[in-house]
Amino acid sequence: MMLEPAPSLQQLLAFYLDAGVDCALNDEPVNRLLDDEVAAPIQAEQRAPAPPSLPDTIRPLAPRPAPALGTAPPSPDAAIVSAREAAATAPSLEALRALMEQFDGCALRSTATRLVFADGNPQARIMLVGEAPGREEDIEGLPFVGRSGKLLDLMLAAIGLDRSKVYIANVIPWRPPGNRTPTPQETQICLPFIKRQIELVDPSILVTLGNPSTQTLLSTRDGIMRTRGRWFDYDTGTRAIRALPTLHPAYLLRQPTYKRLAWQDLRAIATALAALD
């Protein structure tokens, strides 16, 4: 019998890239076929300490260990119900973050490095919500820190805002592998968490960044080119928050000519904020 030659490093890397693996979660490989007791101490050693400089409200937690092999995830319906029940009990943002850290109903949690909960000021009058973390966000544990985040910072600066004056989160708090689009089920499972987060921050203005966030939170099927720049009411159940959809910075990086539309939206946000004073 002829043995196949071992694949070269380049072939292996190409295989991983094709499979959607574009970053390493740890410096050392983890043998997930080992017993839990053998694998757990290895993984425990690899947990990175959280950066000391960030305040408690925005400090990303250390990467979490993979769930035990053979543990069946709850069904999507059961996961949605348990997310709803859990989110409703969270009395504060800290409590919400803590229970999301423990929540095992969303499969994305086991492929992501860590929860990406939020950045910015929980007391801000304006809250921005994107779709889901990407690679950089997954590494740092903070939303919008990659290329689109840099553009978002510039957009905010153009109307005199920065991360101390806004609160930023995502509909999905765990990075989908290879940045794939989250499935409708994953979105439904995560929805109670972002809804509770919005309720707890209770901003005066909500900005939905891009189509998925807009359609999910504002319950519209219209595309972003129809919804952007139009004011909606976001209903928390106890009150209506003014909500403005705008173009996602990642889209603006690909289609810079649409920055003029984003600028119109930013001016509308600035005017609405000034009217609150």
Residue 120 touches ligand URA, criterion: CB under 6 A:
no
Residue 133 touches ligand URA, criterion: CB under 6 A:
yes
How far apart, in Å, are the Cα atoms of 207 and each of 13, 22, 176, 241, 245? 39, 30, 22, 10, 6
Q: Which stretch binds ligand URA (CB under 6 A): 65-73, 96-104, 124-132, 217-225?
A: 124-132
Residue 174 touches ligand URA, criterion: CB under 6 A:
no
Nearer to ligand URA, 43 or 248 (CB): 248
CA distance 20 to 230: 36
Cβ pair 147, 153 in contact under 8 A:
no
Contacts of 194 (CB under 8 A, 6+ apart): 129, 169, 170, 171, 173, 217
Residue 119 touches ligand URA, criterion: CB under 6 A:
no
With CB under 6 A as the contact rule, the residue among 79, 86, 218, 250 that binds ligand URA is 250
Tokens at 124, concatenated: 């801000």
Nearer to ligand URA, 131 or 186 (CB): 131
Residue 246 touches ligand URA, criterion: CB under 6 A:
no
Residue 170 touches ligand URA, criterion: CB under 6 A:
yes
Task: Give Cα 120 distance to the centre of its chain.
Answer: 14
Chain residues that interact with ligand URA, rule: CB under 6 A: 130-134, 137, 143-144, 146, 148-149, 170, 250
